[in-house]
Structure 1
Amino acid sequence: MKAPERVAAIVLAAGASRRMGGRNKLLLPFGSQPLVRHVVTTILASRADPVLVVLGHEAEAVRAALAELPVTFVHNPRHAEGMTTSIQAGVAAAPADVLGYMICLSDLPLIEATEYDRLLDAFREAHARDPACIVVPEFEGRRGNPVLFAAHYRTAILAEERLTGCRGLVQRHPEHVVRVPMPTDHILQDIDTPEAFAALTERTPGQTPR
């Protein structure tokens, strides 16, 4: 792949999992490996390049869970302030020549590499027509993650003041938003609570909660 065609994956793995009852959800077992390793391994199997993982809460433990994977680690010293700071840390660390950024949540373990590639392909097609495109996945009309931003928005992302992500950026540029229908609800199945994790493991019989 030519360098200018690259789309960086920015994996947000800095959160404190406050709703998980004191456990770091990224380190919970998903099959034979920690949840975060499963997610990052899947992203690595896609055509995203490079893959940057933003660390913060329990950074060393999360880094250890991703040992030997070909990723770039980015530390976010402001992670406690909100998700936006992690997005900004990842975007700031991404190579200058990428077409854009795929903002990946690390608690969406059902998304498959082919689904990431579906979004990456849609982004590249949209970018050829509109260098300011934003790609948003949908399932039955419900928006999910990951969202992909053209590098056109780098300065705007780094200046974003809302601390809950870049949803405001999407809302401010509806004329550039491309909605991509997805074949499954995997883009919606994030894990925030012990109940959500239990439901996920029931849905995926090969996974065993502890």
Structure 2
Amino acid sequence: MKILIRGAGDLATGIAARLYRCGHEILMTEIKEPLTVRRTVAFSRAVYEGHARVEDMEAVLAGDLEEARQILTRGDIPVMVDERADVRETFCPDVLIDAIIAKKNTGTKITDAPFVIGAGPGFTAGKDCHCVIETKRGHTLGRLIWEGTAIPNTGVPGNVGGYTIERLLRAAEEGRIEPTVSIGSQVEKGQIVAYTGGVPVYAAMSGIVRGMLQEGAEVKKGMKIGDIDARCETAHCYTISDKALAIGGAALEAVELYGRIKGKYGLVILAAGRGERFGGDKLSSQIHGRPVYQYTLDLARSFPGVEKMIVTGNERIAQAALEAGVTLVENREPDRGISWSLKLGLKAMREKKPEVEGILFCVCDQPGLRAATIQKIWNRAAVKREKIICAGHEGRSGNPVLWPGKYFPELMELEGDVGGRAVMARHPDQVEIVESRDTELRDIDRKEDLEEIWERRWGI
């Protein structure tokens, strides 16, 4: 797959290494003046040196996408100066990984690529990316987070060789850095290791200099400019760290899982109900200032790599769906019940994507449903390919439901106001429930439900 990595520091390089060695195409972006402390093991060095070799890999500075493609053809890794990663618009990556490690999101959106990964604090899975990688040293390092966030930044560096805060070198003053030692040098506590803005920076411990900013880099007072390692292993200065490899392994796991999902499934939204119990057009009713149907369409936007369709006879919904990139399947006979909508969507999806292995059916009146839950359903389907996967809470199944192709014939035999639940009842041992919040499963049948869902979902 084509993978765009924002950032080319040491941790981003660990991610690139894992993916590159498994045969993926990697393009990395950086800022004009990278501030990577562990630059001997970072591809960001290519920005000011023209190329950077790390272990058995070569990164080369590319001036534009055409040059980047030539570098990819040679089997190397292109690095572009592109702070906002605008190249994604023309490179069209399958996966975008934000590995800037800025401890905040600097602009990455879940819609930037079919699959988006955020490394470290500042990202929320299901909101601005599809999954988050834990980057904090400790028991959870390298774990994939499919719902929620990574551990917040504590401001205290991880323990390496028995030291935390002491191992960091920080700028004594604003200005340009002038190192007095090199990466790999042995230093003693109290020794001057650099000048920043003309002011000396002293080592707070003895050890080996594992990282140091390049000479002439512009720094701010208090900024991290170097790193001392008490273990004094010279090889550690020139090889990718255990932390970077753990994070890279997590990225590889996520990418490989996405590879099992990519192109395999479709999404069909059912929005042709008559709203008899509600007493009118419930999908156009307002919740929190937006029509009910808009919440499901917004969820659909979170999965740009998935073929999406909506079954409806409502012109307003049809227009909003087209604006959201969702293909319209018109239902002119809503009186034929939910089975008719289901069959229309199933038939249209199979005609457009004959190779589809499964279809996720969503109803349009669940405004509390979250992208994280849909992603977890895709994930479960990737490893439980023959199972019926649905959202649920404490053993109670609900919508949405992902149907593997083996059940398509049974779904096409449904009649009247009978939905897929009848097929599930015939195969109870084939149903897998993905745990979700109770508020996500609540749909709107009555006007009272609008206020109840509003209060439960937003806590108003």
- For normalisation by structure 1, the TM-score amounts to 0.85
Count how many residue pairs are aligned between Structure 1 and Structure 2. Answer: 199
RMSD: 2.2
Deviation by residue 1:133-175 (Cα, 9 ceiling, x = unmatched) = 2112221121111111001222221122353201111111233
| Secondary structure of the corresponding residue to residue 144 of structure 1 | strand
1:75 and 1:67 map into 2 onto residues whose CA distance is: 12
| Secondary structure of the corresponding residue to residue 103 of structure 1 | strand
Structure showing the higher helix proportion among its residues = 1
The residue identity in structure 2 corresponding to 1:163 is: D
- Of structures 1 and 2, the larger Rg is shown by 2
Report percent identity of matched pairs: 28
Partner of 1:82: 337
Q: Mean alpha-carbon deviation: is it higher for 72-81 or for 153-162?
A: 153-162
Deviation by residue 1:68-120 (Cα, 9 ceiling, x = unmatched) = 11000001223212101101000000021112111101000111111110111
The residue identity in structure 2 corresponding to 1:91 is: L
1:27 and 1:206 map into 2 onto residues whose CA distance is: 22
| Secondary structure of the corresponding residue to residue 377 of structure 2 | helix
Partner of 1:72: 327
Structure showing the higher strand proportion among its residues = 2
Aligned equivalent of 1:179, options 433, 437, 443: 433
Matches within 5 A, 1:52-131: 52-56=309-313, 59-94=314-349, 95-127=353-385, 130=386
Aligned equivalent of 1:141, options 387, 395, 398: 395
- For normalisation by structure 2, the TM-score amounts to 0.41
Instruction: Considering Cα pairs closer than 8 Å and 6+ residues apart, tell me whether 1 or 2 has the greater RCO.
Output: 1
Preserved CA contact (<8 Å) 2:321 2:327: no
Preserved CA contact (<8 Å) 1:8 1:48: no
| Secondary structure of the corresponding residue to residue 19 of structure 1 | coil
Partner of 2:58: none
Preserved CA contact (<8 Å) 1:110 1:186: yes
Aligned equivalent of 2:283, options 4, 26, 45: 26
Deviation at 1:191, TM superposition (A): 0.7
Gaps of 5+ in 1: none
Preserved CA contact (<8 Å) 2:264 2:356: yes
Q: Mean alpha-carbon deviation: is it higher for 81-90 or for 156-165?
A: 156-165
The residue identity in structure 2 corresponding to 1:19 is: R
Partner of 1:156: 410
2:377 and 2:305 map into 1 onto residues whose CA distance is: 10
Preserved CA contact (<8 Å) 2:310 2:321: no
1:199 and 1:152 map into 2 onto residues whose CA distance is: 38
Deviation at 1:67, TM superposition (A): 4.7
1:35 and 1:171 map into 2 onto residues whose CA distance is: 29
1:155 and 1:77 map into 2 onto residues whose CA distance is: 23
